Structure 1
Amino acid sequence: MNPAKRLEIFTRFRNANPHPTTELEYTTPFELLIAVLLSAQSTDVGVNKATRRLYPVANTPQAILDLGLDELKTYISTIGLYNNKAKNVIATCEILVNQYGGEVPRSREALEALPGVGRKTANVVLNTAFGEPTMAVDTHIFRAANRTRIAPGKNVDEVEMKLLKFVPKDFLHDAHHWLILHGRYTCVARTPKCWNCIINDLCEYKDKTPAPKDA
């Protein structure tokens, strides 16, 4: 895919959605960090339902530590893998309180050292909470980047590096949100909605889905 085509793709994304953001609900970097940590192999909708109950009661590292592991589990038990996630949340809160004064660190190394926080989670926090031009590649972005040929790669790390290289700099901060939303709602896994896609004529996917008869 040539640079002119990529530029037009992201121009269209921006025109359609000038201020994209995560669908996870949060008001502080800590709330975002915990929400992303909880979202692994879970939906944003499911995480939001849990955090709407949890955050009014405990939305700081110390408050969650005061809540305790067993009580925390009662708030997040509707989320997949909640037992392990609860242990990671408690361990993360202990580190934040003991090493960072209860604040979320702004470095990738420090974030990735937190229990349950991998590169993708760190990228989301750095981008969404702190405004850094990072690229958090999840399954939606991986699929969309490969299918459209915006940034094809064999694994998430390769796609991340290519997106950081190929996405025009003016669009880099918001690109991961646009691509997630595109993969989540239009360039879906089984039957992409090519007939309802704003970049249909630019996308290099060969087997575009025709419009259904009732569309």
Structure 2
Amino acid sequence: MAQQKVKRLPDADVEAIFGAFAAAEPEPKGELDYVNPFTLLVAVVLSAQATDAGVNKATKLLFQLADTPKKMVALGPAEIEDKIKTIGLFRNKAKNVFALSQQLIERFDSKVPESREALETLPGVGRKTANVVLNIAFKQPTIAVDTHLFRVANRTGLAPGDNPLKVEQGLLKIVPDQYLLHAHHWLILHGRYICKARKPDCWRCIISEWCRFEPKTPAPKGS
């Protein structure tokens, strides 16, 4: 379904939307499994063009064997590849996981850095991945724009933009401070389960009264 071009919502509606999200789910959580900042970083790198459920299935054993950069390097590229072979693009991802583990050891004393600039120097880590890690591991108020969040921001009128960076910057300007830490989780989960790409479930959406998407999807017959 093509994105509709809509005008940005007024501040009062933005406040109402995030107030509704907060009331419904005060502490939203990401769906990737991890045990520390390093395994979170690896999981997010692996999640590109893959489902969280698929990544969790593959990393269950991987993280039992290698939950630190040193253990991951000791495992080696071939063994990493073998453990994640059910994930799309697994060969390239295995190379990146091995290489970023090496760089964490050599450049960051085996610790995941707490800045976007430093994170983006690691193999396989772009702005979205860095923002997820900063938000979840280090409680920084960043917004990671994936396809779900991009769709919701444009459909609703929260932060219309023709690329992820514009949407991210737009949201950072308009999301009230008290909601900023959890904003990207609320929007991603909303896009994943309610505001779906082909046919949004407007009839069970908690923010439909403020959303500018039209026409709203009616409830299925007999529901």
**What TM-score, normalized to structure 2?**
0.95
Partner deviation per Cα, 1:74-94 (whole Å, 9 max, x = no partner) = 110000000000000011001
2:24 aligns to what? 16
Q: Counterpart in 1 of 2:5?
A: none
Following superposition, the deviation at residue 21 of structure 1 comes to: 1.5
Instruction: Give 1:214 deviation, angstroms.
Output: 3.0
* Aligned equivalent of 1:129: 137
Q: Which amino acid aligns with 1:143?
A: R
Match of 2:50, SS?
coil
Matches within 5 A, 1:31-46: 31-46=39-54
Shift of 1:207: 1.5
Q: Which amino acid aligns with 1:10?
A: F
Match of 2:185 in 1: 177
Structure 1 residue 7 corresponds to structure 2 residue 12? no
Task: Return structure 1 stretches of 4+ with deviation > 4 angstroms.
Answer: none
Task: State the partner residue of 2:102.
Answer: 94
For 2:147, the equivalent position in structure 1 comes to 139
Compute the displacement of 1:27 (Å).
1.8
Provide Cα deviations, 1:110-167, integer angstroms capped at 9, x if missing partner. Answer: 1000000000000000111001111100000000000011111011010000000011
Q: Distance in 2 between matches of 1:184 and 1:73?
A: 28
The CA RMSD over aligned residues, in Å, is 0.6
Q: Which whole-Å CA distance do the structure 1 matches of 2:126 and 2:222 have between them?
A: 43
- Share of identical aligned residues, percent? 58
The Cα of 1:26 is off from its aligned counterpart by 1.1
Counterpart position of 1:167: 175
Look up the equivalent residue of 2:63 and give its one-letter code: Y
In 2: Cα distance, 1:119 partner to 1:14 partner = 26
Gaps of 5+ in 2: 1-8
Q: Which amino acid aligns with 1:163?
A: L
In the alignment, which residue of structure 1 is the partner of 2:166?
Answer: 158
Residue ranges of structure 1 left out of the alignment (5+ in a row): none
Amino acid at match of 1:127: N
